[in-house]
Amino acid sequence: MDQLRKCSQCGADNRIPARHLAHAGKCGKCKAELPPTSEPIDVDASDFDRIVNESTVPVLVDFWAEWCAPCKMAAPEVKHVANDLAGRALVLKVDTERAPQIAERYNVRGIPNFAVFRGGKLVFQQAGLVNRDVMRKWLKRAA
């Protein structure tokens, strides 16, 4: 399913295909500019595969769970990275309780666990809490 981006001018929901999530666009209703995605995107298995495979920019994936205290500590850092690198990277959040098949596919044994993809391929993965500067370095290296 395409992601929805709400227009800040007219409030219309605009469907954005996975390959264009990192791009600016125009509202289909009022033609106002739509900025690139600047928030982490919660994904399920089908969204995950489509976004990772179709993205034109590096993708940081945060594997997390609601009960995980370090994951909650990482969440604001992940959000900052999504905002700071809008247009140059995408950030996905995978709840390992709701999408265990994705976590299993990438051998996630401890959370938080971060993975960076480029062109649909895993280029880096690390478990454990890190700050936004480390995440930014991973994404810049993958670019």
- Give the integer Cα–Cα distance in Å for 50 and 46: 6
User: In the chain, how long is the greatest CA-to-CA distance?
Assistant: 47
Amino acid identity, position 28: G
122's torsion region: left (phi>0), alpha (psi -120 to 50) or beta? beta
**Catalytic site residues?**
68, 71
